[in-house]
Amino acid sequence: KDFRNTIKPNWCPGCGDFSVQASIQRAAANLEIEPHELAVVSGIGCSGRLSGYINAYGLHGIHGRALPIAQGLKLANRDLNVIATGGDGDGFAIGMGHTVHSIRRNIDVTYIVMDNQIYGLTKGQTSPRSAAGFITKSTPGGAIEPSLKPLEVALSSGATFVAQGFSTDLKELTAMIEEGMKHKGFSFINVFSPCVTYNKVNTYDWFKEHLTKLSDIEDYDSSNREQAMQTVMKHEGLVTGIIYQDTETASYQEKVKGYSENALTYDNLELGEEKLDELMKEFM
Ligand code: SF4
């Protein structure tokens, strides 16, 4: 299955978002789903363009609101694999309320955040993920607030799948997206996706120097929430791999009475060729 389309991304050369796009395409191909079985919903920001670069249903939504749309899609059509994407500004500032409630709601959606610790599209302002002291045109004297900690927030909000990747490690990133898509419930994947144009602090080299792979930690058990939280805190959030997965808790859909019998599927849409023609004419 080919999830590539002919649109050339207009990200800056070297932007971390290219790898996230490629990893989503590879994960979907590895899962052997068809393009019409995947929907990618994005918010606003450089990362928001991603939904237009994948051969699947795509919706470039509004700032911080990719998740409500993605959850609605999943509830309306249980056959769809739904991915929501955005940046750290999109998901952890204006969209933070949706992020936390989506995590605790546990609808079967994969949420991938391209975390570059800055606002790139608007040319380099401090974001909720920028470290204290981070200097940009919006904080010329250095950011006063500490950086938001998405992994701790996710783990303490009842997340059933938490992972973190790095743009240069396509193999690990693809594998965790695949696992996230297979997970029954909400999967939260934070990706360090450097902004090469505006963030001159959190560069590829900086991450290479500071990141620890969970696979290198002896006896790390991703089914243990307490260990996950302690490990994330000890490494100040700078770990990659599947941090936590709970395969026992039922997803939101599984808890909704009658969902499996009544939610839409392609089969029960009953769209014959005639009806399809009629609908297409309405759109033209
Ligand atoms: Fe990527 Fe930064 Fe360029 Fe945006 S401004 S496309 S985040 S490198």
Atom of ligand 1 minimally distant from the CA of 87: 7
Q: Identify which of 168, 174, 164, 166 has the alpha carbon closest to the alpha carbon of residue 3.
A: 174
Q: CA–CA separation, 30 vs 174, rounded Å? A: 9
At residue 204, φ and ψ (nearest 5 deg) are: -55, -45
Question: Strand runs (DSSP E) across 127-227, as ranges?
Answer: 161-166, 187-192, 212-213
The per-residue pLDDT string of the chain (284 residues; one tens digit each, 9 = 90 and over) reads 899 999 999 999 999 999 999 999 999 999 999 999 999 999 999 999 999 999 999 999 999 999 999 999 999 888 899 999 999 999 999 999 999 999 999 999 999 999 999 999 999 999 999 999 999 999 999 999 999 999 999 999 999 999 999 999 999 999 999 999 999 999 999 999 999 999 999 999 999 999 999 999 999 999 999 999 999 999 999 999 999 999 999 999 999 888 776 666 665 666 667 776 777 788 77
* Top mutation candidate among 10, 11, 53 for ligand 1, by most atoms within 8 Å of CB: 11
Rounded to whole angstroms, the Cα distance separating 19 from 27 reads 12
Q: What does the pLDDT read at residue 1?
A: 80
Nearest C-alpha neighbor of 164 from the set 107, 231, 102: 231
- H or E segment at 245? strand 239-245
Predicted ipTM?
Answer: 0.99
Q: Comparing C-alpha atoms, which of 84, 59, 58 is closest to residue 189?
A: 84
**Alpha carbon distance 191, 50 (integer Å):** 14
pTM: 0.94
- What was the pLDDT predicted at 107? 97
- Please state, in angstroms and rounded to a whole number, the distance separating the CA atoms of residues 164 and 88: 13
Nearest CA, atom 2, ligand 1:
195
Instruction: From 21, 46, 123, give the residue whose CB has the most ligand 1 atoms within 8 Å, as the site to mutate.
Output: 46
Q: Could you give the C-alpha distances from 210 to 117, 170, 181, in angstroms and in order? A: 15, 18, 28
Query: How far is the centre of ligand 1, averaged over its atoms, from the C-alpha of 11 (Å)?
Result: 6
Longest dimension (CA), the chain: 64
Q: What pLDDT is recorded for position 80?
A: 93
Residues contacting ligand 1 via CB (< 6 Å): 11-12, 15, 17, 46, 116, 120-121, 195-198
**Does the domain formed by 17-253 have CATH 3.40.50.970?**
yes
Give residue 87's pLDDT.
98
For residue 267, the CA-to-ligand 1 centroid distance in Å is: 41
Edge to edge, the sheet with strand 212-213 lists 57-60, 38-42, 81-87, 110-115, 187-192, 161-166, 239-245, 212-213
Residue 266's pLDDT is 60
Report the DSSP pairing between strands 239-245 and 161-166: antiparallel
